[in-house]
Amino acid sequence: MALNSAVTADGHEIGRAQAVQAEAAKIEPSADMNPILLKPEGERRTQVVVLGKVLGSMSAAEYHQYKPQLRQIVSDALTRLRSRYELIVIEGAGSPAEINLKERDLVNMFVARLVNAPVLLVGDIDRGGVFASFVGTMELLEPEERALIRGFVVNKFRGDRALLEPGLEFLSQRTGVPVAGVVPYISNLRIADEDSLSLESRMNSRKPEANSIDIAVVCLPRISNYDDIQPLEHIPGVAVRFVASPEEVGTADLLILPGSKTTLNDLAWVRSTGFADLILDRARSGRFVLGLCGGCQMLGQSITDPAGVESSANYGEGLNLLPIKTCFAATKITAQVTFRIRREGFWGDLAADNLKGYEIHMGVAEPSAASVAPFEITSRNGAPVHMVDGAADETGTVMGTMIHGLFENEEIREKVIASLRKRKGLPESSPLAAVNFGPANFASANKDAEYDRLAKVVRANLDFSLISKECGIDPEILCAEERVQTEPVTISEGQS
């Protein structure tokens, strides 16, 4: 369940976490790695994506009833993966001891029991109560499920491990299960976030300093793919703030209206909170506003959803800052794209081709004329196309695009910051950190360095002799300093 998603090379939508894990392993992500993705549309409804394509929108009760029909899909996806790879790492979701949902479990012990997989139980100590969580989980598991638990891992530990030892010893004695490791908290890890939980610590938390660029991002109730912003967060001299009220925006150099899973509902929220008035004032005064995907649609003239694809509302007036109209359709567009810049914008006179990004949207935003579109999409999932994208106002200070991953392109990222610095009277040159994320660029050395930084910490703090024994793999392979690509190995039934 996540609103940060990614697109595979063949145009299937999967969760960001699975795309990141595949990328770290230097393999192409596939829909089999995330056979079921839930994208919440409200407190009690979710869009259900099966094998990368939208199945439909369901209430919580409807989805719960439908779960048994999805079990075979999960099983088949796992079978296909096991035929291709030597080792499969199965990630659970939430707690494996949700007793109210256990009868129709799809993601935790159901999958572990399906292939008799050894299980590591991981607890986030940063949120408190980790020992109670471990012991309580073991108490609530069935005997055959408890037998699969081979180790505990404490995650995000801060402080002196020696002070933790008495608790670790008690845990092992109480449960009979060893502690497989304690992974310390890693600050400023530049790896794309999975979901909105990571926003809690970033709400208006990074205050702009003197002579820095201040970027404010509207934290919509159903914000999605906000990892679009992450490449900007680690640039020296740039402060990125997620804001929940217009008062927090202040004199931000750039205001970003991000993507939304329920665009019309979030547009109503933008109006009710006063953000709409603030955005209109910024546009009138010539201050930069950027809309990404759903945010682009909100900046347009109108949004129609005749079939109720995304919400119960069928029509909404946009903020009328961009000459585009949006209509929602039943078929979701999911594609990796290449694109080029057609006209000047935040990036000044940058002329760039072969830029990379991706599309995930059900609403098609049509500009009133091709001349207002800042981008042209030149390929979708490898097939050549010629399609204009997005729109800009006459001054070029208000702009929108349906393309995700804009700032993963170093050329755009650097030009935008340079343009904002020039507008603020600062030197255009700045020691920018070249940071790349997301599935758009699989060859970024800087991104590899972040994965390797995480791997080094994990390697030093987990008991790989225990883990390798459970997996039936040579510990020297699991602990190798260099990540080596090998040919896929077909494994026999019963291995996992």
pLDDT 10s digits, 377-391 = 999 999 999 999 999
- Pairing outcome for strands 398-401 and 288-292: parallel
Which tokens go with 430?
């700045």
109: its two tokens: 């012990």
Task: Give the pLDDT score at 45.
Answer: 87
DSSP state of 210: T
Which residue(s) pair with 151 in the sheet? 120
Higher pLDDT, 485 or 42: 42
Per DSSP, the three-state class of 317 is strand
In the numeric block, the tokens 């997620």 are attached to 242
Q: Is the pLDDT of residue 364 over 50?
A: yes
Using one digit for the tens of pLDDT, what is the confidence trace for 31-50? 999 999 999 887 788 999 99
Q: What is d(CA 292, CA 258) in angstroms, rounded to the nearest whole number?
A: 5
90 exposure class (CB count in 10 Å sphere: 0-12, 13-18, 19+): middle
- The whole-number pLDDT of residue 485 equals 44
Most confident of 2-11, 266-275, 394-403: 266-275
| pLDDT of 443 higher than 50 | no
pLDDT of residue 201: 58
pLDDT band at 188 (very low <50, low <70, confident <90, very high): confident
Please say if the pLDDT value at position 310 is more than 60: yes
| Lookup: tokens for 339 | 């694109």
Give the model's confidence band at 496: pLDDT under 50 very low, under 70 low, under 90 confident, else very high: very low
Active-site residue flag, 293: yes
Look up 404 and say whether it is catalytic: yes
What is the fold of 196-423?
Answer: Rossmann fold (3.40.50)
The predicted-structure confidence for 90-137, as pLDDT tens digits, reads as follows 998 889 998 888 888 888 999 999 999 999 999 999 888 999 999 999
Can you tell me which residue has the tokens 């000047």?
A: 344
- pLDDT at residue 435, rounded to an integer: 41
Residue 43's φ and ψ, nearest 5 degrees, are: -65, -30
Q: State residue 480's pLDDT score.
A: 62
| pLDDT above 60 (res 430) | no
pLDDT band of 306, cuts 50, 70, 90: confident
Q: pLDDT > 90: what percent of the chain?
A: 58
Q: Would you give the DSSP letter of residue 269? A: H
Span 247-259, pLDDT tens digits? 999 999 999 999 9
Most confident of 19-28, 309-318, 341-350: 19-28
Q: Where is pLDDT greater, at 434 or 276?
A: 276
Average per-residue pLDDT in the chain? Answer: 86
pLDDT tens string 323-345 = 999 999 888 999 999 999 987 77
The full set of domain ranges for the chain reads 196-423
The single residue of 12, 219, 234, 293 carrying the catalytic annotation is 293
Q: Is the pTM of this model over 0.85?
A: no
Q: Which residue has the higher pLDDT, 252 or 347?
A: 252
To the nearest 10°, the Cα dihedral for 370, 375, 378, 381? Answer: -120
* Beta strand extents in 261-390 (DSSP E only): 288-292, 302-304, 315-317, 324-341, 355-367, 375-380, 383-389
Confidence band, pLDDT 50/70/90 cuts, at residue 475: confident
> How do 254-257 and 213-218 pair as beta strands?
parallel
Catalytic residue, chosen from 12, 219, 404, 471, is 404
Give CA–CA dist 268/392, Å, rounded. 22
In the prediction, which pLDDT does 197 show?
55
pLDDT of residue 353: 83
CA distance 146 to 134: 11
**pLDDT, tens only, 222-265:** 998 988 998 898 788 899 999 999 999 999 999 999 999 889 99
- The per-residue b/e assignment along 162-172, b for 16 or more CB within 10 angstroms, e otherwise, is eebeeebeebe
Task: Answer yes or no: is pLDDT of 299 > 70.
Answer: yes
